[in-house]
Structure 1
């Protein structure tokens, strides 16, 4: 028997259902599921609604439902992608990760958390040539990108890039945290690579933004007892959750890490974590979404890559609106890793030349970013 094709999607998030509350609202107000996309919603308790609703052209992505409901919605014209058993992650997820979700079970050791188990699954499957596993990774990453785009609609996003090796308890780490706090207090959405070091510090600063200044100093003191994620990710993460417990409901920010670098855990201060399997998708998506510019703190290969990945669209920008780039630490970027001379040579005669700034001290970065954006 031929099935009814899925109805064309108009690109509106109003046609996506990503929670049980949204499902109930659509049923109550629209009275139909025709043409909707339902992502990772447990519908086992909504059999009656599924038996009654028009599901012509609907798509159900990883939604548990009773066999009776499954049979009925398929017969009525829906396309059903059933949940995949045995995975440590949901490839069809409709929302970004939270720190509590990624680190669930941390009390039993980091190895038992969904984050660590997903990395282990990735390590086992990434080289075995299983097309099903690679498809699941691709579906997952596309779902994460969709959720990230929905989160950032209308936001002025500023990226903070820097090395993972920056240790808690150092002045460099404290400076990066104060930078994140300043940017968040200026009304910007802070986005980082979502990992440890400079990335964690900037997310911590955004988390601290709603509190009095003394909160950040106390948080830095608590974190210093576990300076690095080696040798124990468990102790490193537990110190962050101690800060979150003592100072709940901090400010939001975004972290965009990857299981490609799975030996680097995500940090617990980004309220919204878009974690990817593909590092290429992650890097491109992170920089492309930094609509208000990027601050580059001292880093190594990854940060250098991000500088020039970000420079490429700026170089070819034809409307005279390249995004600001601020490099922090003159000695680092002109002598130790001399990216600045190459960057300025690349920018010569281009519109981007007026949007790139080199500063020596991290406290100069917010004003430099503002100046480069004008």
Structure 2
């Protein structure tokens, strides 16, 4: 996976610099920043370097620097896109989010409302329909930066998506089953990716987080979380309960959440180690499915999950190169009677390569084996 900001530049993503450690390594190794892209790195302490190093053709995206350094690199042929003041988010960010970053301030007197996640949602609500081209540009810049960071993060990973509804409550058998699914997939060496929200998504990320620990760790966490079954009426209480689990068992397993501020009333769950949060929901949904290269497990859900089934089925149907990604639908009664997506999916798949890459199982415990059987 992509280096964290604390790690030095290793040449694996040539011409991009996304941390101060990378910046220093490049300058030391090459003696030049010519044609590099420096993204969201605070360079106020590197004025001496910027006054002397070659920056022809370089691009600085949201990098704080002294006025003297900014004037010099522009004169030397660089493009400088300065930080945008007054925003609760960085449109040029070089990495996906962490739970600690999005929920900073959660333990304060204002709780969740003071966090960057809540403040960014409030900004989005104020600007999403005002027609201000500057605000829409900032959202687009942010989402493109997140997509780039997510691609770098997942290089070489075998990603399995777990889709399901946000309404699944902590303390239910369904939530526990989704958590055990996430744990088993993670223990099989797969990177679990979800929509990053509450409900089934949180459960799968929770299971992946606790995968390195003994089985009892998940049992204990399920009991503790059941005391705050939903993010309503209090996101603060819901999120604090999750962070208690993280504090009791730090250094949990790695998984990915890909939520959206479009549904900002649904908070991101804190159990995903990496959170790629978007403003644009279609970009987020397409990106989540496209990156689930080892397959997708669809738990019982409503309209959103049905949409995801056929969003995933469409490129599989038209796939002309490579193999379609496996699709496993869980709960036969749900997908054949309550919301009969399975008959339509099998009709669509008839005579196509994807026909051998779809499966319907009765119980969630059967999903990992079905995924493996399909080649996930």
TM-score band (shorter)?
A: over 0.9
2:93 aligned with 1:78: no
Q: Which residue number corresponds to residue 27 of structure 2?
A: 27
- 1:295 counterpart SS class: strand
How far apart are residue 306 of structure 1 and its match?
0.3
Count how many residue pairs are aligned between Structure 1 and Structure 2: 364
Q: Which residue number corresponds to residue 310 of structure 2?
A: 308
| TM-score after normalising by structure 2 | 0.96
Q: Which residue number corresponds to residue 176 of structure 1?
A: 178
2:95 aligned with 1:95: yes
| Alpha carbons 1:185, 1:209 under 8 Å: kept | yes
Cα distance in 1 for partners of 2:35, 2:217 equals: 48
Flag as ranges the 4+ runs of structure 1 deviating above 4 A. none
2:330 aligned with 1:332: no
How far apart are residue 270 of structure 1 and its match?
0.3
How far apart are residue 80 of structure 1 and its match?
0.3
Cα distance in 1 for partners of 2:91, 2:226 equals: 36
Q: Which residue number corresponds to residue 159 of structure 1?
A: 161
Cα distance in 1 for partners of 2:12, 2:63 equals: 20
Q: Which residue number corresponds to residue 284 of structure 1?
A: 286
2:227 aligned with 1:192: no
Cα distance in 1 for partners of 2:224, 2:249 equals: 12
Cα distance in 1 for partners of 2:21, 2:228 equals: 40
- 1:244 counterpart SS class: helix
The Cα offsets for residues 35-78 of structure 1, whole Å up to 9 and x where unpaired, read as 10001000000000111110000000000000000000000000
- 2:51 counterpart SS class: helix
Gaps of 5+ in 2: 1-10
Cα distance in 2 for partners of 1:35, 1:256 equals: 31
Cα distance in 2 for partners of 1:221, 1:19 equals: 40
Cα distance in 1 for partners of 2:133, 2:13 equals: 30
| Alpha carbons 1:320, 1:351 under 8 Å: kept | no
Q: Spell out the pairing of 1:110-125 with structure 2 (5 A cutoff).
A: 110-125=112-127
| Alpha carbons 1:16, 1:39 under 8 Å: kept | yes
How far apart are residue 153 of structure 1 and its match?
0.5
- 1:41 counterpart SS class: coil
Q: Which residue number corresponds to residue 68 of structure 2?
A: 68
What is the RMSD of the two structures over their aligned residues, measured on CA atoms?
1.0
Q: Which residue number corresponds to residue 37 of structure 1?
A: 37
How far apart are residue 118 of structure 1 and its match?
0.2
How far apart are residue 319 of structure 1 and its match?
3.1
